[in-house]
Structure 1
Amino acid sequence: MNKEDIISKINDFLIDEFEVEEDAISPEANLKETLELDSLDFVDLVVAVESNFGVKLIGEDFVNVIKLHDFYNLIERKLA
C-alpha cells in the first residue's frame, strides 16, 4: 500500500466514522483541535486503524502524533 492509498483510506474513515468535515482534513490539521478528536475518539481511531490496516497501535505510538501528517506517517511506518 502506497502513501496515497494510506492517506485516502484514513481520510475516508475520518469522514465516515468520525464525521469530520472533508474541508477540515489537511496534512497540517491538528488531530485534537482541528479535527475535534477527544480521548474516546482516539480509542475508536485505534479500532478503525486495526480494522482498516490490520496493525495494532498502542498509546506510545501517539506520543509524537500532533498533526494529521504525523498520523499518516505512523501508519506508513507500521505497515512497512
Structure 2
Amino acid sequence: MEIIDIINKTNAFLVEEFEVAPESITPQADLKETLGLDSLDYIDLVVAIEGNFGFKVKPEDFQGIVNFQDFYDYVIARVKQKELV
C-alpha cells in the first residue's frame, strides 16, 4: 500500500468516526485536540485502525503520538512491517 493511500484511508475513517471536518486534519494539528479524544475515544480509534489496516495496536504505541504526522508515521510503519511478513 502506498503512503498517500494510507494517509487518505486514515483521514477518511477519522472524518467519519470522529465527525471532524476534513480540512481540520493537517500533519501538524494536535491529534487529541482536533479529534476531541477522551480515554474512551482512544478505544474507538484503536478499533478503527485495527479494522482498517489489520494489525494490533498496543496502548503504549500512542505515547509518542502528538500530531497527525506522528499518527501517519506510526500507521505507515506498521502497515509496511505487516507487508514484509
TM above 0.5, yes or no, is yes
Match of 2:46, SS state, is helix
RMSD of equivalent CA atoms:
0.9
Runs of 4+ with deviation above 4 angstroms? none
Match of 1:34, SS state, is helix
Partner of 2:8: 8
Deviation string, structure 1 residues 55-74 (Cα, Å, up to 9, x no partner)? 11111111100001100000
Q: Is the 8 A contact 1:27 1:69 kept in 2?
A: yes
Paired residue total: 80
Q: TM-score, normalised by structure 2?
A: 0.88
Partner of 1:40: 40
Cα deviation for residue 49 of structure 1 reads 0.6
Cα deviation for residue 40 of structure 1 reads 1.1
Q: Is the 8 A contact 2:24 2:34 kept in 1?
A: yes
Q: 5+ unaligned residues in a row in structure 2: which ranges?
A: 81-85
Query: Does 1:50 pair with 2:64?
Result: no
Q: TM-score, normalised by structure 1?
A: 0.93
CA separation in 2, counterparts of 1:35 and 1:17?
9
Q: Which has the higher helix share?
A: 2
Partner of 1:76: 76
Cα deviation for residue 35 of structure 1 reads 2.4
Partner of 1:26: 26
